[in-house]
Amino acid sequence: ILAKDARLSATDIAKHVGLSADAVARRIRVALSVGIIRKFTIQIDPAKLGYQPYTCGLRFKSMEKKHQDRVKEFVRTKSYVVRAMRSLGKYDLLLDVLSTSTDGYYEILTDIKNAFADVFRNYETWVGYKEVCNNPYPPALDSR
């Protein structure tokens, strides 16, 4: 219910879930305190603002702790990075980025290559053209 509308009051949520408003508020506080709920935020459609989503799989020659720290700092400071995720398998890092043009995306890749020239190996790009699902709380989580 929160994933659909985080502005609902504990009283409104309580009506849907069969708990008291105090119980709902307590559960939300606990979920926030242990990090289950990270934050309450908006969800935008980048395409309506003129942005194209790209996913970039990056491979590095080495991902020692010092390189991981550099990657973390890099992605935290780049406004074009939507999401960064360490990965098992073919790629060490998956980056979701936004750009207003293909040329802009290639500038982003150049930025990444320059920042990690000493350990960068290669990359692969996927271009998103239509979002078909964006579910912040997938039903699979209900099984817990």
For the segment 50-71, the average pLDDT, to the nearest whole number, is: 89
Supply the pLDDT for residue 143: 62
Axis crossing angle, helix 65-77 with helix 102-115, rounded to the nearest 10? 150
The pLDDT tens digits for 89-141 are 999 999 999 999 999 999 999 999 999 999 999 999 999 888 887 777 777 77
Supply the pLDDT for residue 97: 94
For the segment 75-81, the average pLDDT, to the nearest whole number, is: 91
Report the candidate in 104, 99, 102, 57 with the shortest Cα–Cα distance to residue 81.
99
Measure the CA–CA gap between 13 and 5, rounded to whole angstroms.
10
More confident residue, 136 or 14: 14
Supply the pLDDT for residue 42: 81
